């Protein structure tokens, strides 16, 4: 089956589980024009190499081992051509002593995605991640860009109980 996003623009859309997260993801979206595409650098330490799909750990290990570096928590932005929404995925990079952001997690993908710093404390960021993982099974935050909102499942308790028009 081929998916046509012009006729199914909400396919795969995950409505943020709280009003606060709706406002937060909309704020992230307003910061996209200034968000950089972070340069990827191959790094290693004696007895350690960064692992794919372990960005938070990679950033922490590198920053802990290298004075002048710090962890920057944030979101990679994935635009979805043809869809009325886009996705932000939790991600961590490091910042050097001059404030330059550096991608330390290896991936075969080219560096084409914008990184938006979270601007949350580590505790707040972790709370957001845990809430998204509990709701969707992954730390992904979707932003609706369409003129009208999609019909999304209304979740109560542990299951889907009805379909409602989101405002």
**Model confidence at 146: pLDDT above 90:** no
138: which strand partners? Answer: none
74-88 tens-digit pLDDT: 999 999 888 889 999
* pTM of this structure: 0.82
Cα 58 from chain centroid? 16
5 φ, ψ (degrees, to nearest 5): -70, -15
User: pLDDT tens digits, residue range 110-141?
Assistant: 889 999 999 999 999 999 999 999 999 999 99
**The length of the chain, given as a count of residues:** 167
Whether 142 shows a pLDDT value over 90: the answer reads yes
The candidate with the shortest Cα–Cα distance to 143, out of 8, 5, 32, is 32
pLDDT of residue 150: 55
The 3-state DSSP class for residue 119 equals: coil
Name the pLDDT band for 12 (thresholds 50, 70, 90): confident
Angle at 74 between CA 48 and CA 95, to 5 degrees: 55
pLDDT tier, 166 (very low <50, low <70, confident <90, very high otherwise)? very low
* pLDDT in the model for residue 10: 65
Helix (H) or strand (E) holding 128: helix 122-136
Q: Given a cut of 70, is residue 152 above it in pLDDT?
A: no
């Amino acid at each position: 089956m081929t998916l046509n996003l012009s006729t199914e623009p909400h396919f795969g859309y995950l409505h943020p589980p709280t009003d606060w997260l709706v406002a937060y993801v909309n704020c992230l979206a307003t910061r996209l024009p200034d968000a950089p595409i972070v340069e990827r650098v191959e790094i290693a330490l004696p007895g350690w190499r960064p692992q794919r799909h372990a960005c938070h750990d990679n950033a922490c290990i590198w920053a802990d081992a290298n004075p002048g570096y710090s962890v920057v928590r944030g979101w990679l932005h994935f635009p979805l051509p043809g869809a009325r929404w886009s996705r932000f995925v939790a991600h961590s990079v490091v910042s050097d002593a001059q404030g330059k952001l550096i991608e330390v997690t290896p991936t075969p993908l080219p560096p084409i995605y914008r990184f938006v710093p979270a601007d949350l404390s580590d505790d707040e960021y972790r709370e957001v991640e845990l809430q998204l993982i509990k709701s969707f099974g992954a730390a992904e935050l979707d932003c609706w860009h369409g003129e009208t909102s999609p019909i999304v499942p209304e979740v109560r308790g542990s299951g889907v109980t009805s379909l409602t028009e989101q405002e």
